Amino acid sequence: MKSAHIPRATIQRLAVYVQVLETLLQEGDSVISSDGLARACGVNPSQIRKDLAYFGEFGVRGVGYYVQDLLTAIKQSLGIDRTWNVALVGVGNLGRALLRHGIFRRRGFILVGAFDCDPFKIGEEVAGLEVVCSRRLKEKVSELEIEIGIITTPPERAQRAANYLIEAGVRGIVNFAPARISVPENVAVEYVDFMHHIFSVAFNISINQSKGLS
């Protein structure tokens, strides 16, 4: 890495670039310019060049970027050129869907543990995993070498789930529960809250409509 601090927005865009580059690769494209990639991602071409410059020089002047090489470089930069073991806490509708969803494994995030505090769910098998009591997280996290936790509990149990995960030594958490959680500084947290997105859509529709009326 070349630069010390990297904007949060850059990381998000890098994830988009990975998505688009993988599609390009499937379609057989081997070279792409920052212009072409920018159009596919809906961003400014300089933006892409700047984002990449935080990590190194991956392009060839006068040519562009070799898709495969760039993909490898970005994945390396993001730390996703390896596999990560992941625990999921909260085996409800959403939790089940994620456990069964192939995308995590395909991208190197392997769901190796499913946890819930409901005695009726404990022992049940979901997507080849036995649901284990949340209290046993600590023991399981070290046994299974888990580094990331996913929270899919109801909001009121999100903080407790987080506490179990942190106590167990997890280094990062993706929280799908619609609740803020507090964690120590050295634990990375990301919120996935689809209500926020649907609110945003509703707001923009309202705005567009009032614009149309004026």
Partner DNA sequence: TACTGTGAACCGCTTCACAGCC
Partner DNA sequence: GGCTGTGAAGCGGTTCACAGTA
Stretch near a copy of itself under the rule CB under 8 A, chosen from 65-73, 89-97, 113-121, 159-167 = 89-97
Q: Residues 30 to 89: which contact DNA by CB under 7 A?
A: 32-35, 43-47, 49-50, 52-53, 57-65
Does 189 help bind a copy of itself (rule: CB under 8 A)? yes
| Three-state SS sequence of the chain | CCCCCCCHHHHHHHHHHHHHHHHHHHCCCCEECHHHHHHHHCCCHHHHHHHHHCCCCCCECCCEEEHHHHHHHHHHHHCCCCCEEEEEECCCHHHHHHHHCCHHHHCCEEEEEEEECCCCCCCCEECCEEEEEHHHHHHHHHHHCCCEEEECCCHHHHHHHHHHHHHCCCCEEEECCCCCCCCCCCCEEEECCHHHHHHHHHHHHHHHHHHHHC
Does 118 help bind a copy of itself (rule: CB under 8 A)? no
Q: Nearer Cβ to DNA, position 142 or 200?
A: 200
Q: Is 91 among the annotated ligand-binding positions?
A: yes
Q: 64 contacts which partner out of DNA, a copy of itself, none, CB within 5 to 8 A by kind?
A: DNA
Stretch near a copy of itself under the rule CB under 8 A, chosen from 15-23, 27-35, 58-66, 131-139 = 15-23
For the chain, give the number of residues.
214
For residue 131, the cross-strand partners are: 114
Does 214 help bind a copy of itself (rule: CB under 8 A)? no
Q: Which of 68, 147, 157, 163 binds a copy of itself (CB under 8 A)?
A: 147
State the nearest-atom distance from the C-beta of 62 to a copy of itself, in Å: 27
Q: Which of 42, 62, 119, 184 binds a copy of itself (CB under 8 A)?
A: 42
User: What does the binding site for DNA look like in residue numbers (CB under 7 A)?
Assistant: 5, 7-10, 32-35, 43-47, 49-50, 52-53, 57-65
Point out the annotated binding site for NAD(+): 90-95
